[in-house]
Structure 1
Amino acid sequence: MKRRWWSTSNVDVGKLPELTSGTAFLPGLMLTAGAVADLVRGEMSLPWLGGAGLLAFVALYVTVAYRAFDPSRRANRIKLGLLAAHAAVTYPLALGYGGNWIQLFIPLALVCGAVLRGQHLVVALTVLGGSAGLISGERDHDPLAAMINGYGTFISGLVTAAILGLAATAAELRRTREELARSAVDRERLRFARDLHDLLGHSMSVIVVKAEAVRRLMERNPAQAAVQASDIETVGRQALTEIREAVSGYRESNLATELDRARSALSTAGVTQDVQLSGPPLDPETEAVLGWVLREAATNIIRHSNATHVEIVMVHSQQQVRLEITDNGTNQPSSRPAGTPDAPGNGLKGLAERLAEAGGSLVAQVGPQGGFQVIAELPKPM
């Protein structure tokens, strides 16, 4: 199916034929119609010389017009040389024959508008417009025709340059908009991948731990094993709900809820907790980010640390809130397979990105007494 030329989908304004191809300048050759008519009527001296000059004029006009829009053939010296040759043909024809031949200055001005920019364009158009007016006044002795030819030459080149400049700006804006759209898609893809990792990593770790508990308790304590199996079902259903919410973009982590989940998962894994949370209530954005930190830290402790105890401490200062999570595990950061400074994984790397976006920072390091420590700091909202 052919795409319509006016479609806004996948169309680069800078590639539209009307604006970036020499074909758009071919109608300018209609301004030679008066000179052609003079040749046909034979109302001029040396018609063969005028015909040869007109053919040269047309050839140079077409060459300059197409070269102006060919990126591989836009050397400045060549363009300026062709423009000079074009002018060298135009002036003798206009001076020698006058009348309709003076209108040849307008096509020359058109290609000047396509090739030149800035001061060079203004100077060239001023010279061409002034020349057209002076030659017309001298040859035809008609002040009105002189003014029309001079002004028409100047404004034709100026309008051409303005239109091409606007087209180039529109093309750049289109490319910028497409790049921003791609960046937005990349950011959203990264956000979703990060959320999915954090959601599934924690939930799967809890399910694995509880499944191990079910296996251990199945023979000696079936009732407790049934409780753990029920927890697995609950965690699985909650994980499905969270994934749906993440896909919809509505889920925000809650620190109190994440703390309850973390304590339950850590207890099931045989990890005792010392929780010390102080200070006033947090704003929703800060609480959401710290909830992600707590979730990821608890997941890493269960999966990698071999820890038996963890301390969770949150303190406030005038400028910031600080969350510290420290375990007594035997694995050091360099030996942990994911989310560590020495072997960065998706978990803590994603958390660092979240905190950076919120103006905070994340530190993952060896704890004061060994083990592993995660420190998250966020500025308090003004």
Structure 2
Amino acid sequence: MRRPGRWWRGKSTLAKVETYTRWSFHFFPLVEVTAIGLPVFGQVGAGFAVWLVLPLCAHAVLCGVTASRSLDWTRGTREQPVRLLVVLGVASVLLGTAALSLVRHGPGGEDTTSAVVPVCVGVLIFGTGTIALGVRGRLRVLGLVAGTAAYAGLMAFALGLDGDASLGTAFAVLFGGGGLVFTSVFSVWLLDAVYELDAARETRTRLAVAEERLRFGRDLHDVMGRNLAVIALKSELAVQLSRRERPEAVDQMIEVQRIARESQREVREVVRGYREADLGAELAGAQGVLTAAGVDCSVTGSATGLPPAVQSALGWVVREATTNVLRHGDARRCRVTLETAGNHVVLTVENDGVERAAAQGAAGRPGGGSGLAGLRERLAAVAGTLEAGPVDGGLFRVVADVPLPPTSSSAFPAGSSSASSSDTVSRSVSEEVTP
């Protein structure tokens, strides 16, 4: 069984605000019964008090149900509870009228008056404040408060209270109901604002992902655009040469085959992510994306002077960690640190929101996803290690440790590999087509 603290911490900020708002209004019926109903037992006899408190309890329950349905309507999960609002309004008026009528037709005495008048005022105040949750428009809300206060004053005067007492009843309903109505309207406005901010954050996140896709599209265009243009030109030249029965047509088609296979290899590198990742660009991009998503992100350290192979491996760690913070966490703060310790470079990405991030940390273990496992494979290529998991203080930490090569010349294996691969492709193509 989950503890209440863990249940609360496991909720997102948006869910916490909605839960707090709902339970605040669910707490109001208890306030109504406690603040208005219990004092009645000390003012009048027990039998008479029971007959006053039981309808008050029913009214409090009706207010709670109406508040819940109205909040559902506010969130768009239910239709406007018009009938329930009307029932609550009628019940509040009838119960308030019945309570004040006991001033004239009840047991009599100052104790009866001091007991039934607060019941009438309280019922009208809580009824008005709850109805405001299911009503939209300033004029409607103001009309609701003013009309209820005016009715309370006229009803009190008609049922036997003097002018001062009737005016006091009207003002009590006006100020008390107005305060509760303001609380209801402000709570709904705040909840809507939080949802709008969350939607804006999701939009910024999607825009960041779309920007990354555009960058990928530009990389793919850079790879394929020039090669396809060369293939088209050489193919056209080969057609012209073949029509003239020139032997150079074979050389042109060999070149077309070589370029096509080289393009295929480069496209695979783009899709699989084997191209070099610029660590400096990834650090700046991570800070920009997280800041746009509402996360307080700080970046410490510089990638200047690191070998390209190390930058590429650590750049993928930054990219994957940033994606996990946006997609799987409810982070408010993130800290990225890049530092050199002796002959090692250490990259640390640390964020809060550990409850959800810890689940993503299991992706590196058997049966999980391939995110952290893929990073370990990339780091293994440069003899690096990766550690990821929750730490004290409700944080999730990713630490990548990569040893630096002894000489700078060994830091450029990617370009040499690419060149040798290109030569191998050319030789293989020539061997295949040479008679």
TM-score normalised to the size of structure 1? Answer: 0.47
Higher-Rg member (1/2): 1
